[in-house]
Structure 1
Amino acid sequence: MSSLVFPSLLWAGICVMRCSASLVVQGKIVWELDYMCVQGPYENDLRPIRHDCRQYYDCHGFRLTKRLCGTDYVFSKRAGGCVLKGSSDDDCAIRSPSLCPKDNDIIMHPDICTLYYNCSAPAQLLWWPDHLQECPFPMLFNADISDCDHYNNVDCGEREELTAICDYYVFRCEDKFCVHCDVPDCKGLDDGTHPHPQLPNNTYITCLDRRLTSTDTCDEGMIFDPGQKACVNAE
């Protein structure tokens, strides 16, 4: 179970991580959450927060810690900690500027048809870029109405249209929070019923428009027959 902790540590900027052209220190803890990340294959797994140079995430084991650099300090991914603003290790300037010209804007993601930016809200997940949101499956973002909509009503244009549940970014298994998505997809399958690819032969899935609509189980004593696309007696 996640636990929220607000430690009473005083920020003094004295936790030295290593020396470089400028002193590298560790930011004070803002909050900690257990079971919210998976540490990468390196000792210090530190991740910048876009559009906020003073804050960053520290992933250790399965604990995600949000840290805040002191006044006149910024986080440097290259240096691995907080460095003096404007020093040779300050790489904050290379980060992308905010996509939100106004606080109340709703902006479509330029590449992915399920994603959009709500400039009046925080990111949907802690480790996502600022304001990033995703429509619930199987909806897509409709730029004409600036809202999520049924996929039949959406013209994605050059944006990538996702059709599988596990392809939606909220379910993707990434390095920061990894819960494997094993829901079957309907890619390459005709509309209608099909055997479940992972479960026993009494289980089947239903597809529509390359999207999974349901997972069902045959009655007791019956199995799913792919040829008849229906449940039949097991004998």
Structure 2
Amino acid sequence: MNTVLLSALCVSLFCFAESAVLHKTDTNFRVDPDDCSTFYILNEGREVSFKCPDEFVVNAAARSCVPKGSLLDTCVKILQSTEGNCTFPSDKKLEYAGNCARYYDCENKNSEGTPKLTECQFPLLFDVKAQRCDHFSMVQCGSRYEPKDACDYEGNHCRSAHCIPCHVRFPSCKGSPDGLNPWKGRERSPYFVVCKDERMVFQGKCPYAVDDKPRIFHPVHNMCVEYEQDD
């Protein structure tokens, strides 16, 4: 069987890699989704990694390392074209470029072989490196859109005619400081929200006073007060 030495391949790609022998028929090739200077070739079920030198990135069409930032730099196009493409055995979960709370589940595909687009529960975000949904404070979204409100998550949207609208069930903390805040849209009512990094972390209702008098959440003082003392 015709083979070429990996070292010969490295000459054409200006890269460094571990020693191995590749068959000419081995065409499985992908660029690292997090690092455009790294790419992988699948050889007999095993991925072999290659690394371009400093300030060089991979041009997938030419399968060569090109100067970073040059006209031959196709890094953005590469990342877009490989999105959701579960090609290699190591592909378990892939990021979804349009939303930091979603990812492609390569182990859950439809009849056509397309990976399922899955969403984390609010307020979690998908951590590409950890391969799981994690607390928003632990995840770096980079260029991915970062949802903050519960209603930014499709899983909280109504799926039936008798469903209470999402904005009624969940308050918004966008633009609000950390700590206690009035429930937007329900000001001067007993309802309030606790915010952290523009996320709702708790929603509550002021309890009645000792003499059973109703209390509301004051929109200026940010505390529960008796109804007639809301000035």
TM-score by length of 1: 0.50
Match of 2:29 in 1: none
| 8 Å contact from structure 1 (residues 164, 211) kept in 2 | yes
CA, structure 1 residues 97+109, in 2 after alignment: closer, same or farther (shift >3 Å)?
closer
| RMSD between aligned residues | 2.7
Question: What is the Cα deviation at residue 152 of structure 1?
Answer: 1.1
Give the match's secondary structure for 2:193.
strand
Report the Cα distance in structure 1 between the residues aligned to 2:202 and 2:138, rounded to whole angstroms.
21
Are 1:222 and 2:215 counterparts?
yes
Question: What is the Cα deviation at residue 97 of structure 1?
Answer: 9.7
CA, structure 1 residues 97+215, in 2 after alignment: closer, same or farther (shift >3 Å)?
closer
Report the Cα distance in structure 2 between the residues aligned to 1:109 and 1:160, rounded to whole angstroms.
10
Match of 1:115 in 2: 102
- Consecutive aligned runs of 4 or more in structure 1 exceeding 3 Å deviation: 176-180
> What are structure 2's unaligned runs of at least 5 residues?
1-81, 209-213
CA, structure 1 residues 223+98, in 2 after alignment: closer, same or farther (shift >3 Å)?
closer
The answer to which structure, 1 or 2, has the higher relative contact order (CA under 8 A, 6+ apart) is 1
**Percentage identity across paired residues of the two chains:** 32
Match of 2:193 in 1: 205
Report the Cα distance in structure 1 between the residues aligned to 2:84 and 2:125, rounded to whole angstroms.
23
CA, structure 1 residues 188+98, in 2 after alignment: closer, same or farther (shift >3 Å)?
closer
Give the match's secondary structure for 1:170.
helix
Report the Cα distance in structure 2 between the residues aligned to 1:211 and 1:198, rounded to whole angstroms.
16
Kindly provide the CA deviation profile for residues 31-90 of structure 1, in whole angstroms up to 9, marking residues without a partner as x: xxxxxxxxxxxxxxxxxxxxxxxxxxxxxxxxxxxxxxxxxxxxxxxxxxxxxxxxxxxx
Match of 1:171 among 145, 149, 156: 156
Give 1 or 2: higher helix fraction.
2
Match of 2:173 in 1: 186
CA, structure 1 residues 97+222, in 2 after alignment: closer, same or farther (shift >3 Å)?
closer
Aligned-partner residue type, residue 219 of structure 2? P
Question: What is the Cα deviation at residue 100 of structure 1?
Answer: 1.6
TM-score by length of 2: 0.51
> What are structure 1's unaligned runs of at least 5 residues?
1-95, 124-128
Report the Cα distance in structure 2 between the residues aligned to 1:142 and 1:121, rounded to whole angstroms.
18
| 8 Å contact from structure 1 (residues 193, 229) kept in 2 | yes
Report the Cα distance in structure 2 between the residues aligned to 1:100 and 1:171, rounded to whole angstroms.
28
Report the Cα distance in structure 1 between the residues aligned to 2:142 and 2:128, rounded to whole angstroms.
10
Match of 1:101 in 2: 87
| 8 Å contact from structure 2 (residues 217, 224) kept in 1 | yes
Give the match's secondary structure for 1:119.
strand
Q: In terms of Rg, which structure is larger?
A: 2
| 8 Å contact from structure 1 (residues 102, 119) kept in 2 | no
Give the match's secondary structure for 2:103.
strand
Are 1:139 and 2:127 counterparts?
no
Question: What is the Cα deviation at residue 169 of structure 1?
Answer: 2.5
| 8 Å contact from structure 1 (residues 108, 115) kept in 2 | yes
Kindly provide the CA deviation profile for residues 78-118 of structure 1, in whole angstroms up to 9, marking residues without a partner as x: xxxxxxxxxxxxxxxxxx99622146621111221111011
Match of 2:133 among 123, 137, 148: 148
Report the Cα distance in structure 2 between the residues aligned to 1:205 and 1:184, rounded to whole angstroms.
7
